[in-house]
Amino acid sequence: MFDKIYKPNVVRFALNIWPPFWGAGIKIISISDDFRQVKMRLKLRWWNKNANRTQYGGSMFSLTDPVYALMLMGILGPKYYVWDKEASINFIKPGGTDLYADFELSQQQLDEIWALTSTGEKCFPEFVVHVKDRSGEVVAEVERKLYIRKKPQHREA
């Protein structure tokens, strides 16, 4: 059942109409067929501007949540727990335009996750996302740490 529902186009559609994303002006532009690449946009709207008339920091942070977890859920499938564990954001400069974030998972990262979780152990991979403005300049750097573990019924005895 999971494999029939959890497909890139379905996930993209569902999240693009999900009120927290839609209301914040967040849109998934694309998800690759293998869930290894996601492109997102945060539209600058009058209701998500801060007092300085630039992008609200909370919306910038939301742009990166929960993308890596959703990507890994699509790759690892229903045998795994995949949760966001912690995150931090470093605001580098004001975001005065629409903002963009690209997420990518390499084969090396996936191999490491599979190796660390193959016997049922917990894994805490860390990822860095750069939020960029329309001209490609970095406006924020977000670090995210995930929790990944096989579900009990799929762990080795």
Q: Looking at residue 31, which CATH number applies to its domain? A: 3.10.129.10
Q: In which residue are the tokens 């630039």 written?
A: 54
pTM of the model: 0.92
Residue 20 lies in a domain: yes
* 117 CB-near residues (< 8 Å, 6+ apart): 80, 123, 148, 149, 150
Q: How confident is the model at residue 146 (pLDDT cuts 50, 70, 90)?
A: very high
Determine the pLDDT at residue 2: 61
Determine the pLDDT at residue 98: 96
- For residue range 81-136, what is the model confidence (pLDDT) as tens digits? 999 999 999 999 999 999 999 999 999 999 999 999 998 999 999 999 999 999 99
The total domain count for the chain is 1
